[in-house]
């Protein structure tokens, strides 16, 4: 299959690499031309300089920072999108020559594997459908280590069952667990809610760690106990033990991205008319961590931003 892959950053690069090694004809695009050149050479695939170079793609995958960037890539930059989007979105929009969608043939399949707003995904899907392009949302869980191993958990949302079946063989090259979540946008909703739970668990674990330390408890002993008790979680077993207590702080997922995902979940809660005070609090705590640390810092470093006695972040 001829596949276009847009966004070859920390997650996208290993994911696109698995597809290239899976026997497909892969063309990669990124806002960094040097990254494209290096990746194409290392993985035996084609590099795209403009979106016109992706015009023969039967399937296009995006792995980008957020839904604003995805929309700019696919449809071109509108005034509202440009105002809201990041610098990466602006760069992508400049290269898009009006948007990738206008270059793709009718019958092409578009799969957004980014963490995007589910309401925006439904809107974009309707616009693409009018152009004869089917859309699926297929965000992932597992971060960089599992992206590298090809063992991501992948959620799949879509209104076209045939399109889902068409995408599955490609998705299986990147993940070993595929979950169909419902109609278009449902996978993006599921991803944001999963990350809300992870963010809430981290916030609670971080507060317990800081309180315990001030009382004189040993952090390693604390989490040895928690990990055989009712407080056990992925956060306590992996993030706290391997990244926070050790000071390694290298989960491969930035504080800005996690803050974004929790905001998406909070926006979804409001759209569903549900009073969710815990979600609002977690959203605000991660926004604080992002603002104090900077969006590019590792998400495990959020514990530093919540320790008011710490002199340096």
Q: What is the mean pLDDT of each run of 10 residues along the chain (313 residues)?
A: 96 97 96 96 95 96 96 77 43 59 96 97 98 98 93 98 98 98 98 98 98 97 98 97 96 95 97 97 98 97 89 55
Indicate the pairing of strand 152-157 with strand 140-141.
Answer: antiparallel
pLDDT at 81: 41
Q: Which DSSP string corresponds to 182-246?
A: ESTTHHHHHHHHHHHHHHHHHHHHHHHHHHHHHHT--HHHHHHHHTTSTT--HIIIIIIIIIITT
Query: What global pTM score does this model have?
Result: 0.90
Instruction: State how far the Cα of 52 lies from the Cα of 40, in Å rounded to an integer.
Output: 17
Give the residue from 253, 228, 225 showing the smallest Cα distance to 239.
Answer: 253
pLDDT at 308: 79
8 CB burial (10 A radius; 0-12, 13-18, 19+): buried
pLDDT at 96: 40
Phi (first) and psi of residue 108, to 5 degrees? -70, 155
All structural domains of the chain, each given as residue ranges with its CATH number in brackets, are 2-184 (3.40.50.720), 190-305 (1.10.1040.10)
Q: Looking at residue 116, what DSSP letter applies?
A: -
Give the residue from 242, 234, 236 showing the smallest Cα distance to 205.
Answer: 236
Instruction: State how far the Cα of 274 lies from the Cα of 264, in Å rounded to an integer.
Output: 14
- Cβ atoms of 122 and 189 closer than 8 Å: no
């Amino acid at each position: 299959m001829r596949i276009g892959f847009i966004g070859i950053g920390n997650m996208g690069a290993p994911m696109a690499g698995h597809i290239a090694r899976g026997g497909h004809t892969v063309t990669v695009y990124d806002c960094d031309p040097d990254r494209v050149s290096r990746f194409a050479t290392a993985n035996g695939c084609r590099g795209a300089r403009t979106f016109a170079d992706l015009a023969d793609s039967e399937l296009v995958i995006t792995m980008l920072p957020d839904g604003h960037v995805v929309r700019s890539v696919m449809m071109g930059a509108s005034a509202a999108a440009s105002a809201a989007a990041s610098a990466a979105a602006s760069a992508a929009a400049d290269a898009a020559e009006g948007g990738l969608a206008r270059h793709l043939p009718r019958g092409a399949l578009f799969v957004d594997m980014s963490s995007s707003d589910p309401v925006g995904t439904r809107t974009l899907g309707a616009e693409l459908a009018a152009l004869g392009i089917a859309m699926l949302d297929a965000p992932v869980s597992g971060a960089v280590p599992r992206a590298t191993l090809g063992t991501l958990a992948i959620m799949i949302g879509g209104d076209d069952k045939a399109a889902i079946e068409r995408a599955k063989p490609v998705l299986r090259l990147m993940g070993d667990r595929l979950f169909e979540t419902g109609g278009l946008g449902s996978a993006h909703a599921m991803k944001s809610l999963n990350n809300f739970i992870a963010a809430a668990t981290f916030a609670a674990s971080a507060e317990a760690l800081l309180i315990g330390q001030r009382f004189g408890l040993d952090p390693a002993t604390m989490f040895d106990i928690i990990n055989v008790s009712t407080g056990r979680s992925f956060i306590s077993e992996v993030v706290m033990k391997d990244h926070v207590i050790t000071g390694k702080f290298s989960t491969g997922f930035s504080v800005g991205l996690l803050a974004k995902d929790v905001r998406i979940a909070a926006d979804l809660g409001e759209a569903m008319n549900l009073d969710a005070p815990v979600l609002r609090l977690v959203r605000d705590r991660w926004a604080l961590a992002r603002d104090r640390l900077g969006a590019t810092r590792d998400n495990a470093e959020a514990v530093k931003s919540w320790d008011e006695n710490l002199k340096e972040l």
